[in-house]
Structure 1
Amino acid sequence: MEQTASWRRNSKVIIIVKPLQNFYTLNSKYLLALHSCSESFSIGLKDIENPESLAKWEVFNIGRSLSNKLFNCIEKILPRKSWKQINRIAVAKGPGSFTSTRLTISMARTIAQQIDCPLDSMSSFHLMAPRLYKNLDKNSINNPFWIKDILPRRGFVAGKYKLIKVHQESNFHEFSELISPHLIINEKEIYPSINVSKNMEKDIISLMNFSQHCHNLKVNSHWRATLPIYPTSPVDNKNNNL
């Protein structure tokens, strides 16, 4: 029988399914997920060939010190000697902190390039969609909706989403990002809408589920296609999800 352990320390969360001593094996092929679109840094890890039996994630509340602690945080989840066993990487590409998002995406792209593995990416708003859409009116739950974040004196950052399918076997809620997050001045343009609600624990799981789904479909996501979303940048970002 598999064992399950979970504990909380210093506002960090680790969930482990399977005895810890058996987590790292030479035969494991890992899916590594990275999410830093807030002041917390979330890392997820699972055995991509045994998705039902192995999962681990942790939330590091490190504020603006990510640049100094990025490598250490990843090594706490997956020792560097095991990085060659990474089979796929997933990263949240924003919107979020300019510096944190840039650092994490650069890290993900570098690892994916060096070990020649797929790199999946998804916007942080897209990751919220599976839990936020449940707040919609029942009659609207299958219709497109917006997720928005209010920027003081600048308007809104918003993206548009629609539920495509719930994959019960993998617990993956598939959404289409009809319009990627961008700056909007007039709130009347975004209806119906749901306010951003951050939950790094649930969103890192959503990111792992998305990447696992891509793996199951044999999607070959190239690292070059992963670019950060900066809605308030003077440069127009036209990023498409894979």
Structure 2
Amino acid sequence: MHNCLGDFLPSQQWSELDYLAVAQGPGSFTSVRIGMVTARTLAQQLKIPLFTISTLACFAQSLVKTCEDGELLAVTMPATRGYLYGALYQIVGERLIILDCDRLWLPEDWQQLMADKGVKQIHATPDQLGITAPQLLTLAWQNWLLGDRPHWSAAQPFYGMSPTDPVAN
């Protein structure tokens, strides 16, 4: 991993970084865990803020330019055991306003929320979410501009589902 990180930042020095951002999930347990541990370790050692950004928010941000101001934007991701992850946002300018944050849903409960809110279209995440890395940086940058400086120790993964309690949020 050390070599990969070195290749990632060849023309800069680590000390030039002002902050880091990491996808907090939902997603593959192993991917979320490795990403979170790596980001927390780097932020701790570099003494810089660490933004944790929802995987669903990154995907939603990738759709902002296709939406109208004020539009509701619902995004989902498959989970295991017949559940799904879902989040609901409203578009204000080019910002996402969280109306219902990342949660594990039974499909029928999610559909009921969408009907209650009058959501016209639900967007399902693609299989390869690495394409939303620019949106991760956009969301972190927006928070940075608002003055947020989250401490690395506050960074927590969102796994959404526990092996023993499938509806834990």
With normalisation by structure 1, the TM-score equals 0.57
Contact 1:146 1:190 in 2 (8 A): no
Please give the per-residue CA displacement for 1:39-62, whole angstroms capped at 9, x wherever unaligned.
xxxxxxxxxxxxxxxxxxxxxxxx
Output the CA distance in 1 between the equivalents of 2:140 and 2:80: 34
Q: Secondary structure at the match of 1:93?
A: strand
Output the CA distance in 2 between the equivalents of 1:118 and 1:101: 18
Give the number of the structure whose residues are more often helix, by fraction. Answer: 2
Offset of residue 217 of structure 1? 2.9
What is the aligned partner in structure 1 of residue 130 from structure 2? 200
Q: Report which of the two structures shows the higher radius of gyration computed on alpha carbons.
A: 1
Output the CA distance in 1 between the equivalents of 2:87 and 2:152: 23
Output the CA distance in 2 between the equivalents of 1:86 and 1:99: 26
Output the CA distance in 1 between the equivalents of 2:154 and 2:76: 25
Offset of residue 206 of structure 1? 1.1
Superposition map of 1:40-189 within 5 A? 70-79=1-10, 82-133=13-64, 142-151=70-79, 153-166=81-94, 174-185=95-106, 186=108, 187-189=110-112
AA at the equivalent of 2:75: I
Larger RCO (CA under 8 A, 6+ residues apart): 2
Q: Secondary structure at the match of 2:5?
A: helix
The percentage of counterpart residues that share the same residue type is: 26
More displaced stretch, 214-223 vs 108-117: 214-223
Unpaired segments of 5 or more residues in structure 2? Answer: none
With normalisation by structure 2, the TM-score equals 0.78
Output the CA distance in 2 between the equivalents of 1:132 and 1:232: 26
AA at the equivalent of 1:161: Y
Give the total of aligned pairs.
Answer: 157
